[in-house]
Amino acid sequence: MSFEVISNFIAAFFTLSIFSFLYKDNPFYKFAEAVFIGVSMGYAIPLIYQDTFIPFVYRPIFVEYKFLILIPALTGSLYIFRFSKNLGWLSRYPIAFSMGIVGMGVPLSMHSYVLVQMRSAMLPVDNINTALIFIGTVTILLYFFFSKEHKGVYGKVTNIGIWFMMVGFGASFGYTVMARISLLIGRIQFLLGDWLGLMK
């Protein structure tokens, strides 16, 4: 029996074990769930050791003698003190450093997520698409203005905003249904094709 056949059998067993939850909770499902978590962690730990610790910590310090690396390495190790009640405060230093890195992205994020988006919302209203963008943007912004009661003409305008949002949520939900069905299709393709060989 080839390795591929054995691995397909194992994968099929775990797929069916997970699917069995659709009928009701059972030991097969629980077993498959636990194995998945264990395997994921078991795979990640040596990979991170090999591709992170060795090239970024061990090799620079112990092979290339770049002792400056000790500073970030030791700072990073302070994370472990999260588990200590008395020394937990030490873990705030690497967290503060990470927050600083996040701060580095603020100007670029402002550009991508705010300025460019605003510029694209300020197009000349010369076709149906830009007209819809204009009406949608304005009415939704007005909907989220809570200092005025949504009544009368103002209420009708904000209602249009709700309609726009509902269309957006509908599109998102439709896509979500498609995604979930796709995942099921992927598994059934595996069971029928790779495992049972019924698909051509």
Partner 1 sequence: MADKKMNFFEKMQALDRRYIYLVVALAIIIPLLVPFNSRTYVTEPTENIYKKIDSFTGRNDRAVLLCFDHDASTMAELFPMEVAILRHCFERDIQVFTICFIPAAKPLMDYALQTAKEGYEVQSGIDYVNFGYRPWAIRIPIMLKMGDDISEAVEYDDEGRKLTNLPIMKEIMNYNEMNLIVDFAGSAAVLSWITYARAKFGANVAAGVTAVMAADNYIYLQTGQLTGMLGGLKGAAEYEKLVDVFACHMEPDENGVMQPAPRDFSKEIIKNTWIKMSDIKNRMHKTARIGMNAQTVAHLMIIVFIILGNIGYFISKRKKDKVN
- Residue where the block lists tokens 């000349």: 124
Rounded to the nearest whole angstrom, what is the least distance from the CB of residue 130 to partner 1 in the complex? 10
Say how far apart CA 122 and CA 137 lie, in whole Å.
10
Looking at residue 150, what DSSP letter applies? S
Say how far apart CA 56 and CA 50 lie, in whole Å.
10
Say how far apart CA 29 and CA 45 lie, in whole Å.
25
Query: Is the Cβ of residue 77 or residue 120 nearer to partner 1 in the bound state?
Result: 120
- Residue where the block lists tokens 């010369």: 126
Copy the structure tokens of residue 37: 């978590």
Say how far apart CA 99 and CA 158 lie, in whole Å.
38
Rounded to the nearest whole angstrom, what is the least distance from the CB of residue 155 to partner 1 in the complex? 26
Q: Residue 24's Cα: distance from chain center in Å?
A: 28
Interface positions with partner 1 (CB under 8 A): 22-23, 40, 43-44, 47-48, 51-52, 55-56, 101, 104-105, 108-109, 111-113, 116-117, 119-120, 133, 168, 171-172, 175-179, 181-189, 192-193, 198-200
Query: Is the Cβ of residue 81 or residue 130 nearer to partner 1 in the bound state?
Result: 130
Rounded to the nearest whole angstrom, what is the least distance from the CB of residue 160 to partner 1 in the complex? 19
Rounded to the nearest whole angstrom, what is the least distance from the CB of residue 10 to partner 1 in the complex? 14
Query: Is the Cβ of residue 76 or residue 150 nearer to partner 1 in the bound state?
Result: 76
